[in-house]
């Protein structure tokens, strides 16, 4: 071989030999020419966002259809200040009486459409549909044999009876519209993580939930309307067949109502969600973390509105914040064929603030025929004649709003801790599937927490009512104004209900087509 020919051969052969013996020098993230076909480049599921006008792909539309089922259970307990001997035997203690075993089952159809608006910007629309939502209260450790004690209201009345089963609810849970933006993307710059910021509005489009008597139990007896309005004190949809003594001796009559309300299925709120997540792929794993917050605001057509009064201590649904951390593992992928297998391991911790909510006793208490819950409270007190013993004589203002009990109660703040895993299989360029499950431990919390007085109004002696403490033998000290949502049979220490030993299990499967 001549010397010029040998030099030409060496120039060609040396790089080829280097690549042959050193395949590790080949990188999957090589710059791609415009003329080359696209490849799978999406981030992990949690930070993947549809986009448009990118590398010749002017339009992105992802349509998802999924099914989810949740099983929730726990024990309902009640405080007691009773010293009856039998309450401290057979598994009972005077501080935590076994009341009922609560079970809840929810089947949900999840639908979602995500539209790519521009590079790394997507608009999404979700419409969760509840196919069935069932709640049950059953006996636990023989609690059905002690109902007259564990479910006692005022002397001679029982708040509800066991077993109790709520009506099956179904319908649209809410309509959600969201916007996701990706300020940083590892796909566009391999030195950066993928960072997603999103907001979502949740809008009530169906009947809010209303407390209803179940198929079994005390609350469905005596010809009562199944889902009576709170102001129908007789629970019969008619003008007073039976009168009920008011708190001040007034004879209160039921108002003439035509029929009953629907049980409803939505929360009756408008929600605002803010979230941010970041992930960074390193070879076959992609760790991620983030935060999500949910704020809910009650709608006027829901039963929340009846509790939005000046004396109320808590007049809004709970707020919640969630910390998320996880690891996406990609054990197999063929990028040119748009195929991938992703296994997601996730841990979340959620703080749910104190707020008025639909507790496990929502239907049972809200449909109760116990007079202590059916009769209304007046919203305000007013000044009467000066007291001869000092202080101010404050009496009920009969012209103020009557506040009826709806079943919505003040629920104590608590935490929820979730372990989740999900398997995602992308079969090709236009379709992917995921299946997953989670387990949530729910921290024990009081579900009837209201306080009798609002201390923010200590200077309004004329409206103090019973919210006065003895300062001296001849004078009283104002401690606030009465809370019109307070019901002593539920909220007084020694009578409050608690939800404990609670957990939830979720399972789901989704299919997504991508255009």
Measured CA to CA, the distance from residue 118 to residue 52 in angstroms comes to 5
Structure tokens at 97: 């009486």
Measured CA to CA, the distance from residue 163 to residue 202 in angstroms comes to 35
Place of tokens 């398997």: 423
Residue 109 has pLDDT above 90, yes or no: yes
Q: What is the mean pLDDT of the chain?
A: 83
DSSP strand pairing (244-245 vs 409-411): unpaired
Place of tokens 């649209």: 172
Work out the pLDDT band at 171, boundaries 50, 70, 90.
very high
Name every residue whose Cβ is closer than 8 Å to that of residue 418 and which is 6 or more positions away in sequence. 346, 347, 348, 349, 350, 438, 439, 440, 441
Q: Which residue has the higher pLDDT, 10 or 237?
A: 237
Work out the pLDDT band at 18, boundaries 50, 70, 90.
very low
**Using one digit for the tens of pLDDT, what is the confidence trace for 31-44?**
554 444 556 778 88
**Using one digit for the tens of pLDDT, what is the confidence trace for 465-504?**
889 887 676 677 888 899 999 999 999 988 999 999 999 9
Name every residue whose Cβ is closer than 8 Å to that of residue 191 and which is 6 or more positions away in sequence. none
Among the ranges given (57-66, 125-134, 272-281), the one the predictor scored with the smallest mean pLDDT: 57-66
Work out the pLDDT band at 297, boundaries 50, 70, 90.
very high
Q: Are 226 and 260 in contact (CB under 8 A)?
A: yes
Tell me how far the alpha carbon of residue 206 is from its chain's centroid.
17
State the Cα angle at 137 between 134 and 142, rounded to 5°. 155
Place of tokens 């539209």: 115
Q: Are 489 and 449 in contact (CB under 8 A)?
A: no
Closest CA to 280 of 326, 342, 334, 345: 326
Work out the pLDDT band at 162, boundaries 50, 70, 90.
very high
Q: Are 128 and 173 in contact (CB under 8 A)?
A: yes
Q: What is the pTM of this model?
A: 0.84
Closest CA to 220 of 232, 211, 231, 212: 212
Among the ranges given (13-17, 102-106, 221-225, 466-470), the one the predictor scored with the smallest mean pLDDT: 13-17
Residue 83 exposed, middle or buried by CB count within 10 Å (0-12, 13-18, 19+): exposed
Name every residue whose Cβ is closer than 8 Å to that of residue 390 and which is 6 or more positions away in sequence. 472, 474, 475, 476
Residue 366 exposed, middle or buried by CB count within 10 Å (0-12, 13-18, 19+): buried
Q: What percent of the chain has pLDDT over 70?
A: 79
Work out the pLDDT band at 456, boundaries 50, 70, 90.
confident
Q: Which residue has the higher pLDDT, 109 or 240?
A: 109
**Using one digit for the tens of pLDDT, what is the confidence trace for 179-193?**
999 999 998 888 999
DSSP element (H, E) containing 6 = helix 3-21
Structure tokens at 8: 């030409």
Q: What percent of the chain has pLDDT over 90?
A: 56
Work out the pLDDT band at 21, boundaries 50, 70, 90.
very low
Average of per-residue pLDDT across 295-303? 91
Of 177-186, 224-233, 309-318, the range with the highest mean pLDDT is 177-186
Work out the pLDDT band at 252, boundaries 50, 70, 90.
very low
Residue 311 phi/psi, 5-degree rounding, is -80, -10
Average of per-residue pLDDT across 79-105? 69
CA distances from 56 to 35, 41, 117, 235 (A): 10, 15, 14, 65
Average of per-residue pLDDT across 196-204? 97
Q: Are 301 and 328 in contact (CB under 8 A)?
A: no
Work out the pLDDT band at 245, boundaries 50, 70, 90.
very low
Give the pLDDT score at 474.
65
Q: Which residue has the higher pLDDT, 241 or 135?
A: 135
Residue 20 has pLDDT above 60, yes or no: no
Measured CA to CA, the distance from residue 270 to residue 205 in angstroms comes to 10
Measured CA to CA, the distance from residue 62 to residue 515 in angstroms comes to 6
* Strands in 30-78 per DSSP E: 61-78
Residue 91 has pLDDT above 90, yes or no: no
Q: Which residue has the higher pLDDT, 56 or 310?
A: 310
Give the pLDDT score at 60.
87
DSSP strand pairing (414-426 vs 468-470): unpaired
Cis geometry, peptide bond prior to residue 163 (ω within 30 degrees of 0)? yes
Closest CA to 287 of 334, 198, 347, 199: 347
Measured CA to CA, the distance from residue 4 to residue 491 in angstroms comes to 99
Residue 399 exposed, middle or buried by CB count within 10 Å (0-12, 13-18, 19+): exposed
Measured CA to CA, the distance from residue 512 to residue 434 in angstroms comes to 9
Residue 234 has pLDDT above 70, yes or no: yes
- Give the three-class secondary structure for 460: coil
489-506 b/e (C-beta count within 10 Å ≥ 16 → b): bbbbeebbbbbbebebeb
- Give the three-class secondary structure for 489: helix
């Amino acid at each position: 071989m001549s010397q010029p020919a040998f030099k030409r051969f060496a120039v060609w052969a040396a790089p080829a030999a280097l690549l042959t013996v050193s395949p590790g020098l080949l990188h999957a993230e090589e710059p791609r020419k415009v003329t080359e076909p696209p490849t799978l480049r999406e981030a992990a599921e949690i930070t993947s966002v549809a986009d448009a006008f990118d590398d010749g792909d002017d339009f992105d539309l992802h349509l998802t259809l999924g099914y989810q089922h949740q099983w929730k259970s726990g024990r309902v307990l009640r405080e007691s200040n009773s010293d009856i001997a039998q309450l401290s035997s057979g598994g009972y203690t005077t501080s935590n009486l076994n009341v009922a075993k609560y079970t809840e089952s929810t089947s949900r159809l999840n639908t979602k459409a995500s539209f790519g608006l521009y590079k790394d910007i997507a608009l999404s629309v979700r419409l969760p549909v509840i196919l069935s939502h069932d709640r049950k209260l059953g006996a636990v450790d023989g609690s059905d044999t002690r109902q007259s004690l564990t479910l006692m209201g005022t002397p001679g009345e029982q708040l509800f009876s066991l077993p109790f089963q709520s009506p099956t609810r179904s319908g649209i849970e809410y309509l959600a519209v969201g916007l996701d933006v990706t300020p940083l993307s590892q796909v566009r710059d391999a030195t950066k993580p993928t960072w997603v910021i999103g907001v979502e509005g949740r809008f009530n489009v169906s009947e809010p939930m209303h407390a209803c008597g179940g198929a079994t139990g005390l609350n469905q007896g005596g010809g009562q309307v199944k889902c009576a309005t709170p102001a129908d004190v007789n629970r019969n949809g008619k003008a007073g067949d039976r009168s009920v003594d008011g708190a001040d001796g007034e004879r209160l009559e039921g108002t003439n109502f035509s029929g009953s309300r629907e049980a409803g299925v939505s929360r009756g709120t408008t929600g605002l969600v803010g979230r941010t997540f970041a992930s960074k792929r390193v070879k076959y794993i992609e760790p991620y973390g983030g935060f999500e917050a949910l704020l809910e605001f009650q709608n006027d057509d829901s039963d929340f509105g009846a509790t939005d009064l000046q004396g109320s201590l808590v007049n809004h649904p709970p707020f919640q914040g969630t910390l998320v951390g996880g690891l996406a593992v990609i054990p197999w992928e063929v990028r040119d064929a748009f195929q991938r297998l992703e296994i997601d391991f996730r841990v979340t911790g959620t703080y749910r603030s104190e707020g008025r909510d639909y507790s496990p006793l929502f239907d049972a208490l809200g449909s109760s025929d116990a007079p202590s819950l059916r009769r209304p409270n007046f919203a305000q007190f007013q000044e009467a004649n000066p007291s001869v013993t000092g202080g101010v004589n404050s009496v009920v203002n009969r012209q103020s709003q009557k506040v009826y009990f709806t079943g919505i109660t003040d629920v104590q703040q608590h935490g929820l801790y979730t372990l989740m895993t999900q398997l995602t299989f992308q079969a090709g360029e236009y379709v992917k599937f995921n299946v997953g499950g989670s387990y949530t431990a729910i921290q024990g919390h009081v579900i009837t927490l209201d306080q009798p007085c609002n201390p923010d109004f200590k200077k309004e002696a004329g409206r103090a009512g019973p919210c006065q403490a003895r300062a001296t033998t001849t004078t009283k000290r104002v401690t606030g104004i009465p809370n019109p949502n307070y019901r002593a049979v539920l909220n007084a220490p020694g009578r409050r209900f608690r939800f404990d030993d609670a957990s939830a299990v979720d399972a789901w499967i989704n299919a997504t087509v991508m255009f």
